[in-house]
Structure 1
Amino acid sequence: MAETIYVRGEGGGIHPMDLPLPEPIEERLRKGMLQRVNEDGSLYVVPADEEPTNAGKAPAAGQQVPGLPLTQPGKNADKATWVGWAVVQGATAEEADGMTKADLIEKYGTPSTPATQSSGD
């Protein structure tokens, strides 16, 4: 028997979804465009005995969110993961989704330290 979760859609409706989620739904959840909720529509809270997996709710800047990344993704991560990271950092899901992956990395990524260049003079 598949586990069922409840997701609040963009229009506000609550929809039961069996796991594993279809890829488009999972991607929108990772981006923060959908929110994981309880059956009654109240905000889903990850039980203490489960590892936080962040199931997409609109966060306050820097707040840990079920379904969204807990740490900055690597530069090779997909755009959806970077959109989720931008949402955790305070962007709206729509704003972040409208940016390119490169723009997301530039704006929300930690600047990498430039390699020390040695002079051959």
Structure 2
Amino acid sequence: MAIYQRGAGSHVAERVQPEPGGPEEKRLETLVEQGVGGWHRIDDTEPEAAEPASPQEPPKKPNKASSKADWVAWAVHQGETLEAAESANREALIERYHGADSTEEIA
């Protein structure tokens, strides 16, 4: 079965696998032949290009003025579950993870 894909570069806007010999397959094949709309045919045996696995850098310890999202990321990095970190307010995360020895002020 043929797979038809529309997009540019590595961006895939749409992917369709129509019934073989059906009107949708004929329409898509025509679009591919005419070069219309960024459509192209993919061999269904072609393996999908896997994105290279890049090791994610651990987040830097946020300062007291950082956003809640930064503190949530830090809490998760420290071993807290995402749900627990997201349910806590920013001030609680700062208190829990900033450390008592810091002299930074909340901006």
TM-score by length of 2: 0.44
Structure with the higher helix share, 1 or 2: 2
TM-score by length of 1: 0.39
Q: Which has the larger radius of gyration?
A: 2
